[in-house]
Amino acid sequence: MTKKIEEKKEIRVRFAPSPTGYLHVGNLRSALYDFLFAKQNQGTMILRIEDTDQKRYVEGSVEKLIESLRWANLDWQEGAFQTAEIKDNKTTVVTSESYPGIIEVGDSGPYIQSERLEIYQKYAEQLVQEGKAYYCFCEPERLEQMREEQIAQKRAHKYDRYCLKNVSQDQINENLKKGCAHTIRLKVPNDETIVFEDMIRGKVSFSTNTIDDQVLIKSDGFPTYHLASVVDDHLMKISHVIRGEEWLPSTPKHILLYRTFGWEEPTFAHLPLLLNPDKTKLSKRQGDVAVEDYLKKGYLKEALINFIALLGWNPGGGQTQEIFSLDELVKNFRLEKVHKAGAVFDLKKLDWINSQYIKKLSISDLLEKAQPFLREKDFFQEAPTEFQQKDYLEKILTIEQERLSKLSEVGEENKFFFKDKLSYEKELLVWKEMDFGSVKTNLRQALDVLKEIVPDGWRRDILAEKLLAAAGENRGEFLWPLRVALTGEQKSPSPSDVAWVLGQKESIQRIESALEK
C-alpha cells in the first residue's frame, strides 16, 4: 500500500505598503519578516502598492518605498519595481499606468491597487447579485446622526441596515439609473462565531454580532481596504498574511469575505505592537517612526535591521546571541517564535547594537560612512585644512571607534582635534592640590619626552609606554596637566592617544602654549 504524498503548499507572502511618504519602522519589520519567511521556505515575496486611499498619497513615495526596500536588501520576486529584468519568457512585465518609471513584474498583476478598480467592482457586484451584499444610499448626515444616537445610548456603532430593509429593488434600480451616490455593504450574518488559528496568537474567535455591515465599495467607486486586500490576496495566491496586531480586529471581516466568496483562507500571523518605553503605541508624536529618520541620526542599516528583527522575536532555546547578519536571520528566524506581547522600541538597545556594528568596521569604511555627518558640523567646517585630511581623520576615528554609538556623534566629544587654538583657564591645568610650579615642571618633562621621540616612533604604543614611564607613581599629577594642555578639556581620551592623533609638531606647540599660561 502506498502512502499518498500531500503536495506542499507554495509559500507566497506580500508586503503591501501605502504610498504615504516614508517607510515606518513597523512596516520595515513586516517586510523583513515577510522576506525571512519566504527565504526560509523557498517561497515568493510580492510587493503590492495599496493606494486606494488617494487622499493620503504623497508624490514620489512609491519610488521611495522601493528604494528603502532595496537599501535593506529585502529582495522580492513579483510586484512593483523601478527596474526589472525578464528572467524567462513566462514572466510578464508591464509599465505602470499610475506611476511613470515603475514596472510591474509577474503573472498576477496589476500589483498597484488603483489599477485594479474594475476587478474590485466585479467581485462586489457579484456579492450583490448573490444576495450577500447590498447597495446603501444613506447620506453622510444620516449616518452621522445614527452614530451620535448610538453613542448617546451607549450601543455599539453599527449600520442599522436601513437600505437593506426599506429600499425596494425598484428604488434601487431607479437610484442607480440616476447615478445616486451609494456604497456597497457586506451582509454580515448574525449569531455566528468566526474562529481561526493565528501563527502567533493561537486560536482566535469573534462573534459576528460585533461586526458591522462593512463597506466594500465606497461612494467614490474605490474599494475599502478590506475588499481590496482579500480579493488581491486570493487572486495573487497569498498563502500567509503577516501583518501588525492593529489589523487583528479586521481579520474576522476578511475571513467572512473569504467564506462568502467560497475561497480558501490564507494563514494569518499578527505581529505584536511596537511600543514606546512608557508602553504607549509607537507614534510620531513621541519620537521618530520613519526609517530615514534613524539613518539621518547615524544608525547603520545592518544595525537597524538587526534591531528591528528583535522587536518581538528572539531565537530562544537558551541562545543569547543578539547580533545577527541578514544571512544569520534567514537561518535562525522562526515566525512561530514571535511573541504576543508588545515590543518596546528601546533606543538604548538600538544604540548598543549600532555600536557593535561600528566596532566591526574598518577605519576606512568608518570614515566613508562618518564623513557626511562630519561635513555638516560647524567645528569641522571651521577647522584648518590640515585637520580635515584623510589620514588625520582616520586617526581620530581609531580613537573614537570604541565609544561611538552612532555616526552622528563623531567628533562631538573631541572637538579639540579640530581647533588650532585652545581656550581654557590656566587653573584647569592644576591637578588637585598641585601648585603652578609643579605643573610647569611636569609639562616641561612631558615636553622633553615628546621631543626625544623620533618621527618613526610616533606610535600609540610607544607614546603610552614613554609617558607612563615618565609619570611613574604620580600619574595624576603628570598626566592631568598634559591632558589639559593638549585638549583644553577635563575629559578626553588618554594624553598619549591625543598626542598620537595631533602629531609631534602640534602636540609640542600645545604644551608650549600651556607653559606660556
Helix or strand run (H / E) with residue 275:
strand 274-275
User: Judging by beta carbons within 10 Å of its beta carbon (0-12, 13-18, 19+), is residue 415 exposed, middle or buried?
Assistant: middle
289 and 26 Cβ atoms separated by less than 8 Å: yes
215, containing H or E segment: strand 215-217
DSSP string of 325-382, one letter each residue = -HHHHHHH--GGG--SSPEE--HHHHHHHHHHHHHHS-HHHHHHHHHHHHHT-HHHHT
Distance CA 31, CA 29 (A): 5
Cα gap 309→28, rounded to integer Å: 9
Do the beta carbons of residue 80 and residue 102 sit within 8 Å? Answer: yes
Closest CA to 9 of 35, 50, 41, 37: 41
Contact by Cβ (8 Å): 298, 229:
no
State how beta strands 183-186 and 133-136 pair. Answer: antiparallel
d(Cα 400, Cα 382) in Å, to the nearest integer?
20
Rounded to whole angstroms, the Cα distance separating 317 from 327 reads 19
Whole-angstrom distance, CA of residue 227 vs CA of residue 61? 23
- State CA 194 to chain mean position distance: 33
**Helix, strand counts (H, E) of the chain:** 20, 14
Nearest CA among 425, 130, 77 for reference residue 257 = 130
- Residue 242 grid coordinates: 503577516
- Cell digits for 297? 541620526
Distance CA 104, CA 78 (A): 8
What type of residue sits at position 340?
K
* Strand boundaries in 169-292, DSSP class E: 183-186, 193-198, 202-207, 215-217, 240-244, 267-271, 274-275
- The residues annotated with a catalytic role in the active site are 284
Which residue type, as a one-letter code, is found at position 455?
A: P
Nearest to 13 by CA among 75, 85, 91: 75
Cβ burial, residue 93 (10 Å; 0-12/13-18/19+):
middle
- Whole-angstrom Cα distance, residue 146 to residue 151? 9
Beta bridge partners, 203, equal 197
What size, in residues, is the chain? 517
